[in-house]
Amino acid sequence: MNLDFSNPEPRDGARASFSARPIMQKTLKTSIGCTGVGLHSGSRVALKLHPAPADTGIIFRRIDLVGGGREIPARWCNVTDSRLCTVIADEHGVSVTTVEHLMAALYGMGIDNAVVEVNGPEVPAMDGSAWPFMFLMECAGLAELQVTRKAFRIRKSKSFTNGAKRVSLVPTQSDLRIDFEIDFRAAAIGRQHCSFSISAETFKSEISRARTFGLLSEVTALREAGLARGGSLENAIVVDGDRILNDDGLRHADEFVRHKVLDAIGDLYLCGHPIIGHFSGHCSSHGDTARLMRQVLADPSCWELVEVGDNMSESARVDSQPFAALA
């Protein structure tokens, strides 16, 4: 689709409403990498981020397997497990685990296209937040591509209730808004609520450094089940009743609920585009977000792809997109 943005004259249909300056897709300026330990596998993993052409999206590539270069697009259609973290896999069962914090960092940086190479089954946990990944991306720098950015705009409300857990997505004029509420019996967490309009600045200053967390009692049970093997006070907040076991305490008084916002952003980015909509989560988990997104994607009247400008309320609808690839 070619739009002449220099022409202020209205043209046909939805395209005519797009008077804002277009925002172009972005990728990394250069490749950059790090190593770390997988939160659940406990194995050491090298991660490398590479630039990618426009309309590639985010693609994970396992380079440790025979034949090499097994690629898994970071899309909802490839999500195979959402119980403890988000897992994507290809049709042969080759998977990458715990993609959500890196996906949140890519969202926060406004990166539309990148190839994420890993030499193991899990993204390294780093410090349990999105911050180390953002730092890497900032070191690599960003490059603008010559294709307009597209957003996934919610047109109709959808919600999903699972006992006391609730998630919903409703239309907004512009940007992604997230409300989240959690209520834990552990006194150190308790009831927390937050609400953010997710801009690049808000993500970086308010969300990106919030770490994953676990209850000491659950960590023991997870370890016995062969999970959380790489979890430590270096990459997670660990709570025991009213105590926080990390010597240096919390980064925000409500770091727990902010991390839930970070998780939601990473998961939502599996739709392949920034979202224009209002997400609310009440005591919900990765699995509830996954259920909601499957409902949204299954209903074509619920969403549309739009080209975005610097005033995101004035966006042009994109026609004839390959929607089936998203479902």
Point out which residues bind Zn ion (CB under 5 A).
212, 263
CB of 93 to Zn ion, least distance (A): 23
The residue assigned the tokens 């993204």 is 123
Spatial neighbors of 2 by CB under 8 A, at least 6 apart, are: none
The least CB distance from residue 85 to Zn ion, in Å, is 7
CA dihedral 63, 67, 73, 76 (to 10 degrees): -100
Stretch (H or E) spanning 134: helix 131-140
| Minimum distance, C-beta of residue 263 to Zn ion, in the bound complex (Å) | 4
Nearer to Zn ion, 168 or 212 (CB): 212
d(CA 280, CA 170): 9
- The single residue of 50, 273, 278, 286 carrying the catalytic annotation is 286
CB of 250 to Zn ion, least distance (A): 15
259 among known catalytic residues: no
Find the shortest distance in angstroms from Cβ 86 to Zn ion.
9
Six-digit token string for 56: 């590639």
Q: What are phi and psi of 30, to 5 degrees?
A: -150, 170
Q: Which is nearer to Zn ion, 25 or 129 (CB)?
A: 129
- Decide whether 38 or 51 has the Cβ nearer to Zn ion: 38
Closer residue to Zn ion, CB minimum distance, 256 or 303: 256
Strand 24-28 and strand 237-240: pairing?
unpaired
* Residue among 37, 39, 38, 45 at smallest CA distance from 118: 45
Judged by beta carbon, residue 120 or residue 266, the one nearer Zn ion is 266
Element (H, E) at 170: strand 165-170
- Collect all residues with Cβ–Cβ distance below 8 Å to 86 and sequence separation of at least 6: 79, 98, 99, 100, 103, 266, 267, 270, 286, 290
Question: Nearest approach, Cβ of 14 to Zn ion (angstroms)?
Answer: 36
DSSP single-letter state for residue 206:
I
Q: Which is nearer to Zn ion, 105 or 151 (CB)?
A: 105
Q: Rounded to an integer, what distance in angstroms lies between the CA atom of residue 138 and that of residue 29?
A: 10
> Which residues are marked as active site?
286
